Amino acid sequence: MSETTMPPTENDFDRTAPAVPPSPPPAWYPQPKPRKPLWKRLLIIGAVLIIIFLVMGVISNAVQSKIGRLTSDGLDVKVLKPGSDDQVVAVYEVFGVINSKQAGRVKAFCDMVSDDPNVKAVVLRVVSPGGGISACDDIHKMVTDLKSDGKKIVVSMGAVAASGGYYISAPADAIYAEPTTVTGSIGVLSAWIVIKGTLEKYGAKAVVVRSTKTRAWKAAMNPFEDPADYQIESIRKLLDVMQERFEKVVRDGRGKKLKTTTAEKTYTNAKGKKFAITETIPFNGNIFTAAEALESGLIDKVGYLDDAIDQAATLAGLSKPKVLKYTIRKGLLEQLTAAKAGPLIDTNVLDEIQTPKLMMIWKIEP
């Protein structure tokens, strides 16, 4: 008879023996990945930035395609008012101090609209205190050339359209100024900085040597010497010539609309000395409100940009005017780098110090 193996019962276990827990699994720690060399990391960052710029450019162009178009000359064209494609009123703004760069931008606009037979009228929005004589004169010629091409020109003045800002406005078929516009300041000036004696405080000295035959005039009005009386008088004669041209531009532009008044006036200068002068208003360099400018014939009406646009369409005989605004569009990279830190010494400041300027500008200080 074989033995039968019975399963263990509860009594077979020794309950007094301590329980042995299972061994925990071995701890696992991730091994650090080796760092890429610095040049590889910089390369990756640069690639990512380039991709971001490209994507932003695509998005910018996509948005731009919805609101306007970019011309081959870098001008952004935006529709302000829909209308007939062959009855265009082109709007362009001259903003800030007028210099050669500003004149170049205006030229790009004028070249485009002068060759476009669909552009029948131009509204020049002027918000400027003026600037360099040559730059203002260049823009003035561009405006007169547009008139010669058969375009009707209307000026809409903003907060300030004085001195050179008025110079470029004078040829327009009609001039509008807002109720708060400051205009006038029909005059020219020359300004430079004299720092004589300043360098000596720091142990430096400026030496100016002239050739014998030119010592009366060469390096005149430099910042390291006080100007002689005859040098000041020479500059004043030059400014008087420019003043006569300014007045002729205004007279030719405004014609019979202009009203002038000549009178003997007495003024007191900063030193308390009185002086008398025969002056002709509005050619005395003073500024005027819109109401005063209207009274003297410097402007045609007090109104806003929309009023000027309506007038331009009326003068051009447009029944369904399409209003397009032209602006200089900055590229994406130019916008991103616009706030970059400048050099320790600004070359523009050095140029301002060393070079006397002949200006058509209205400002508080030279």
State the total domains in the chain. Answer: 1
218 catalytic residue (yes or no) = yes
Residue 343 — pLDDT band, cuts 50, 70, 90? very low
Candidates 128, 156, 163, 169; catalytic one: 163
At residue 87, does pLDDT exceed 70?
Answer: yes
Q: Each residue of 289-324: pLDDT tens digit?
A: 999 999 999 999 999 999 999 999 999 999 999 999
Compute CA distances 96 → 70, 158, 290, 342, whole Å. Answer: 23, 11, 19, 21
For the segment 205-251, what is each residue's pLDDT rounded down to a tens digit? 888 888 999 988 888 888 888 888 999 999 999 999 999 999 999 99
Strand (E) or helix (H) holding 189: strand 189-191
Q: Decide if 237 contacts 358 (C-beta within 8 A).
A: no
13-24 per-residue burial string, b: 16 or more CB within 10 A, e: under 16: eeeeeeeeeeee
Q: How far apart are CA 156 and CA 126, in angstroms?
A: 6
Q: Which of 77, 93, 110, 105 is nearest to 159 (CA)?
A: 93
Residue 145 falls within a domain, yes or no? Answer: yes
CB atoms within 10 A of CB 259: 12
302 three-class SS: strand
Q: Does any domain span residue 57?
A: no
Beta bridge partners of 181: none
Q: Which long-range contacts (CB under 8 A, 24 or more apart) does 277-286 make?
A: 282/184, 282/186, 282/250, 283/186, 283/187, 283/243, 283/246, 283/247, 283/250, 284/186, 284/187, 285/185, 285/186, 285/187, 286/184, 286/185
Residue 274: active-site member: no
Q: What percent of the chain has pLDDT over 70?
A: 75
pLDDT in tens, 23-67: 666 655 566 666 667 777 777 777 777 777 666 655 555 444 444
Q: Is residue 315 part of a domain?
A: yes
Q: Is residue 26 part of a domain?
A: no
What value does the mean pLDDT take over residues 153-180? 97
Q: Which two tokens stand for residue 229?
A: 């009386």
Give me the pLDDT at residue 340, please: 46
Determine the 3-state secondary structure of 240 from DSSP.
Answer: helix
Q: What are the Cα distances from residue 244, in Å, to 145, 238, 250? A: 22, 10, 10
Chain mean pLDDT for the chain? 83
User: Do 55 and 86 contact (CB within 8 A), yes or no?
Assistant: no
Is 17 domain-assigned? no
List the strands of the sheet with 357-361, edge to edge. 130-132, 357-361, 189-191
3-class state of residue 164 by DSSP: helix
The model's confidence at residue 20, banded by pLDDT at 50, 70 and 90, is low
For residue 28, being part of any structural domain is answered with: no
pLDDT digits (tens, 9 = 90+) for 108-137: 999 999 999 999 999 999 999 999 999 999
SS3 319: coil
Domain with 284, as residue range(s), is: 71-330+348-361
Residue 282, in any domain of the structure: yes
Collapsing DSSP to helix, strand or coil, 296 comes out as helix
| pLDDT for the residue numbered 22 | 66
Phi first, then psi, for residue 76 (nearest 5°) are -90, 125
279 within some domain: yes
Distance of CA 116 to the CA centre of its chain: 25
- Catalytic residue among 36, 101, 196, 218, which? 218
**Which domain CATH number covers 155?**
3.90.226.10
